Amino acid sequence: MNIINIPALKDNYIWILYNAKKECLIIDPGEYISIIQIIQKLKLKITAILLTHHHKDHTAGVRKLLKLFPVKVYGPLETVNAGTNHIVSENDILTLLGYHFKVLFLPGHTLGHVAFYSKPWLFCGDALFSAGCGRLFEGTAKQMYESLQKIKQLPGDTLIYSAHEYTWSNINFAASILPKDNNIISYLKNVKKKRIKNESTLPTSINKELKINLFFRCKDKEIQKKLNTSSNNEEEWKIFAKLRTKRDLFT
């Protein structure tokens, strides 16, 4: 399987998967012109579109693509108005391009957010980013925390294909909380080198995120100290909520 990203809009990534037969999937098409250019250049045939949630920067290209390519569009109920014609829900299995994709329900960023998992790939939209996670636009902190715990249980070699290039900002936030953490500082340096060259920082992996993503490390005593809290007397999701709030205020 070949996996490529198309930088789109301000900082989005549209993911395209294609096989030896030149059949492809499009994931979260926030626009369509660059997609047309790529499929024409590579002589690809679109067989399906996958949507993780309803935000326009992930769906705005769907209807234009459907006019040219009348294919199946898989997404959660909240994406019906964007063009979804096959609604998916937790634990559904989609067989596409000869691979099985399991649907994971990951509310938090939106109420109906989903991800698509086919070992070792996870296409998670705005649920998880490298060194960060999605903002809580509709869901609760507890929902997002539980969604990240679900992701956290996937195999360590799982490759994370997020839908935004937010890594530089996220890792700078992490370094502001844990300035002496060797894993974070090392990753910050690597990310800086890539972004200077305008290179993508994705995909990342579960193993990497367990080391550098603060939202996977709410049990960390140093993080709790910075938040003036303790897991001894506070549920872990509430620690996550405080960390998410602090991230929202970081510039």
Rounded distance between C-alpha atoms, residue 203 and residue 224, angstroms? 28
* Polymer length in residues for the chain: 251
Across the beta sheet with 99-105, what order do the strands follow? 93-96, 99-105, 114-118, 121-125, 159-162, 204-205
pLDDT for the residue 229: 81
Rounded distance between C-alpha atoms, residue 189 and residue 98, angstroms? 38
Residue span of the structural domain in which 25 resides:
2-248
pLDDT for the residue 233: 62
Among 28, 54, 55, 113, which one carries the catalytic annotation? 55
Among 28, 54, 109, 113, which one carries the catalytic annotation? 109
164 tagged catalytic: yes
126 tagged catalytic: yes
What number of CA atoms fall less than 13 Å from residue 135's CA on the CB side? 9
Q: At 83, which amino acid appears?
A: G
Q: How many CB atoms lie within 10 A of CB 182?
A: 9
Among 28, 54, 113, 164, which one carries the catalytic annotation? 164
Query: How many independent structural domains does the chain possess?
Result: 1
| pLDDT tens digit at each of 251 positions of the chain | 999 999 999 999 999 999 999 999 999 999 999 999 999 999 999 999 999 999 999 999 999 999 999 999 999 999 999 999 999 999 999 999 999 999 999 999 999 999 999 999 999 999 999 999 999 999 999 999 999 999 999 999 999 999 999 999 999 999 999 999 999 999 999 999 999 999 999 999 999 999 999 999 999 999 999 988 865 667 899 999 999 999 999 98
Q: What is the pTM of this model?
A: 0.96
Rounded distance between C-alpha atoms, residue 165 and residue 108, angstroms? 19
100 tagged catalytic: no
> What's 191's domain CATH number?
3.60.15.10
pLDDT for the residue 251: 81
**Rounded to 10 degrees, what is the CA torsion of 201, 207, 210, 215?**
50
109 tagged catalytic: yes
57 tagged catalytic: yes
113 tagged catalytic: no
Among 53, 54, 113, 181, which one carries the catalytic annotation? 53
Q: Which residue has the tokens 């367990």?
A: 210
Among 54, 58, 113, 181, which one carries the catalytic annotation? 58
Q: Per DSSP, what are the bridge partners of residue 45?
A: 23
Question: Are 60 and 93 within 8 A, CB to CB?
Answer: no
Among 28, 54, 57, 181, which one carries the catalytic annotation? 57
| Burial zone of 146 (CB within 10 Å; 0-12 exposed, 13-18 middle, 19+ buried) | middle
Question: Are 126 and 55 within 8 A, CB to CB?
Answer: yes
pLDDT for the residue 230: 65
Among 28, 54, 126, 181, which one carries the catalytic annotation? 126
| Burial zone of 123 (CB within 10 Å; 0-12 exposed, 13-18 middle, 19+ buried) | buried
pLDDT for the residue 228: 85
